[in-house]
Amino acid sequence: MTITSIGRRTRTALALCAGAALLGLSACGTDTDAPPETPAGAAESSAEAGGGDVSDGGGEQDQQPSEGGSASDGGGEEEGSGAGADEGAGEDGGGTGASGERTRIMLMTDLGTDDSSGEGAPVLSNDDLAALLAAPFGGTAECAEELVLEPGAAPVGCVGPASFDDPAPTTEWVANVVFVPSEDGFQNGSRVAVLFSTGTELPAAAAGMLDENVSVTGVGFGSVFGMDPLTAEDVAESALQTLTSEHAYVPVNEQAEWSEVTCEDGLDFTQFETVDCEATTADGTTWELLVAPGTYADNDQGLLVGISVPRNG
């Protein structure tokens, strides 16, 4: 109420000043055709009209995520489309790329490959890799080489769509091999997936996500998630929600009885890096986690969570 009262007195004062100025000009009898002064109320309305909600910066989209879903589908979190998270993050600036954009990612778990035939690791041809990148946007892409689906595989550079609104291949992406929990549980093995990220390489501060002992999953929480830096407590709470979400890219909610997560530090989504966390299950077992920002280009903003599972042999 104090703010409203001050605003009303200010508008009244401006109106009186404007009236006095007009009377003064009339008394002088000037014949100059001066342009009319802008009323104080109109200037105020113009200022109010220019200050939109930052959450609207990306625009609303009707596209559905190609993989997984948003935790906001069932958790009452604020809704937002993949394109909104994608574009809004870039316009806000402060990212790691040369243009100031945040590093955007796409985790693709359905690669359409057959691991049961042939010798050696399966391979995605450059055309198949480009199709995988372009599919969520309904556009086109180009990739320089094939991607060998094995641990430590060399990343492949691509050019693909910038957003749902711009499906032409105008943005640099890089494809890396990552691993996701197997259907038998993350404790019992993993399967190969592809992590696309904007730029020419995955930032070194997040390279731990590529380790073959790390099983990756993630989920979107909404277009405004991560708009402000997250505290360690925020990261821990959201990481636990990722592990327990049935909407995760690779759900692990039934693979363990997750009870608690603690994290060493917070996350700033303008820096694509990992934070060390620890998850505890109901039986007291602990699992080391790597948690990174999830500015999903084909989904809401959320988290990318890697579960460290040492393998024997």
What single string gives the DSSP state of each residue in 128-183? HHHHHHHGGGTS--EESS-EE-STTPPPEEEEE-SBTTB-SS-EEEEEEEEEEE-T
> Could you say which residues of the chain have pLDDT below 50?
1-68, 72-99
The angle at the Cα of 210, spanning 83 to 109, to the nearest 5 degrees, equals 50
Tell whether 37 is covered by a domain.
no
Amino acid symbol at 47: A
Q: What are phi and psi of 249, to 5 degrees?
A: -55, -45
Residue written as token pair 């002992």? 213
Q: Does this model's pTM top 0.75? A: no
Give SS3 for 194: strand
Closest CA to 294 of 245, 223, 232: 223
Strand locations in the chain (E): 105-108, 123-124, 142-143, 147-148, 156-160, 171-181, 190-198, 214-222, 258-263, 275-281, 286-295, 301-308
Q: Does residue 27 form part of some domain?
A: no
CA–CA gap between residue 171 and residue 275 (Å, rounded): 27
224 assigned to some structural domain: yes
Give the single-character DSSP code of 313. -
What pLDDT does residue 176 have? 98
Residue 104 lies in a domain: yes
Q: Judge whether 201 and 173 are in contact, CB under 8 Å.
A: no
Domain-located, residue 33: no
Structural domain containing residue 252: 68-113+120-308
In a domain? residue 8: no
Q: Who contacts 280 (Cβ-Cβ below 8 Å, separation ≥6)?
A: 258, 259, 260, 261, 262, 286, 287
Torsion of CA 17, 23, 25, 28, to 10 degrees: -140
Domains contained in the chain, number: 1
Strand partners, 181: 190
In a domain, 26, yes or no: no
